[in-house]
Copies of this chain bind each other. A is one copy, B any other.
Amino acid sequence: MKPKLGSLCAVAGIGMAVFGLVHAAGEEVPPAPNGIELPNDYKDWRMIGTAHRTDNHSLRVILGNGTAVTAARTGKTDPWPEGTMLGKLVWKDRTHPQWPDATVPGKLNHVEFMIRDSRKFPATGGWGFARWVGMEQKPYGDDASFAQECFGCHQAAKATYHVFTVPAELP
Chain A interface (Cβ < 8 Å from any Cβ of B): 43-44, 46-47, 49-55, 59-61, 63, 89, 91, 93, 96-99, 101-108, 111, 132, 135-137, 156-157, 159-160, 164, 166, 168-171
Contacts and interface: CB of A to CB of B under 8 A. Distances in A.
Given A98-B159, A102-B52, A160-B98, A168 B91 contact: yes
A29 to B, nearest CB: 8
A123 B49 CA distance: 34
A2 to B, nearest CB: 36
Contacts of A171: 43, 108, 111, 132, 135-137
Contacts of A89: 47, 168, 170
Among A54, A63, A93: residue with most chain B CB under 10 A: A54
A169 B61 contact: no
Contacts of A43: 46-47, 170-171
